[in-house]
Chains A and B, each alone.
Chain A
């Protein structure tokens, strides 16, 4: 990985991917690689910022047409309804934003050392394998805010690993419309990618769990919106499996209430 080496091969490799990345035209694997590269290469980030600014000026020069008043009414009706949802109150209480938060590596994990419930463990264990990673979580739109991602990846010296075959995520039940894969970013560092994640429903949330080699279960992430693509960054430690459950609450649970709706072994 570049590691702030402006003229490295990886910098040159990624620099021409920045325009399609900015336009959202890369496939998932390449997008993850670019994202990781941005986290480790200051010059690449500068380049990307410049491309974003240039794109904005280019696109923003369109002939201006006044927006209809009806759009304004529809927008504020929509966000007003969202703000009145019960889960919005819960979000305020636990300081969880309406969109999935960007949680820096190693901050999301600490309070989630829990045992998997007797009910869910057999299902989860069925998809177990072995490996070690400590988990962290970055739930962010691929083309959205990259700061925490890149800061944390930069700290870890993370690198995308194009030679790692993606591990496909098994989905079922309420998450069956989604598809996913586990991609390797660097040694002991992976990204869980879920596409077409549906809305969990009012008052519900998707919650992400990991199991380590001592069979300890940790809640590492949760969100309550639908997403074209959801990314969860897994950072090295003692984890063998990753799974997602659908919970009837927006608050992070200590233990999952049921079997997973998505799972993958590391």
Chain B
């Protein structure tokens, strides 16, 4: 999409607006914050239009990646994420939800996932699925995941990489990768 092409941008917006908003709402669990986040994502997409390379990734991947990264950044900056159960402000829906449940961290992470993701992750070894779920839907860093899972950081990295490799097949990702092995 060319920079400054309003028509193309409107078409892009109409195609992916619901997806962007849904990613933000699912992970932030706060409609107001999700709306703000979605707006920020779209402005970023507008500004970044010139950097999109259609040959390297699909439009959907580009939009989803940018939206997901932005929301993860918001979660990490705001310190309101799955598992952060203390010092939250009134109206903090994620923290309140976490306060209410028992195994809420796991439940909250799973609740964000769509059916396809849930089914695919269910096919993975549980520790790989847990690491990926916490990273992708909980916004946790690998160090935080290592602490939560009480596993070495290197082990968590391996879980995530191997899990993503398996998910590649489970989610039917087309790739030109030559499937090199990581260690």
Inter-chain contacts of B10 with A (CB < 8 A): 76
Main secondary structure of the interface of A (DSSP, over half): helix
For A62, give its contact among B9, B26, B46, B157 (CB under 8 Å): B26
With A and B bound together, what is the CA distance between A245 and B57 in angstroms? 35
Let me know if B173 and A24 touch, CB within 8 A. Answer: no
| A55 x B17 contact (CB < 8 A) | no
Asked whether, in the complex, the Cβ of A25 is within 8 Å of the Cβ of B141, the reply is yes
Q: Which of A98-106, A116-124, A207-215 contacts B (4 or more CB under 8 A)?
A: A98-106
The closest CB in chain A to the CB of B111 belongs to A63
Task: Report A-chain residues with C-beta under 8 Å of the C-beta of B164.
Answer: 19, 51, 54-55
Q: Is the CB of A43 within 8 A of B178?
A: yes
* Contact indicator A11/B180 (Cβ below 8 Å): yes
Q: Are A99 and B47 in contact (CB under 8 A)?
A: yes
A-side residues, CB < 8 A to B, are 6-7, 11-12, 15-20, 22-25, 43, 46-47, 49-68, 70-72, 74-76, 78-79, 82-83, 88, 92, 97-99, 101-102, 140-141, 143-145, 147, 225, 228
Apart from A58-B120, A63-B22, A145-B56: 5 A-B pairs, beta carbons within 8 A: A49-B56, A68-B35, A71-B39, A141-B51, A144-B48
21 A-B pairs in the complex with CB atoms less than 8 angstroms apart: A15-B182, A16-B158, A17-B157, A23-B69, A23-B135, A25-B135, A50-B177, A55-B64, A55-B65, A55-B68, A58-B117, A65-B25, A71-B17, A72-B13, A78-B39, A78-B42, A83-B6, A97-B50, A98-B46, A102-B51, A145-B52
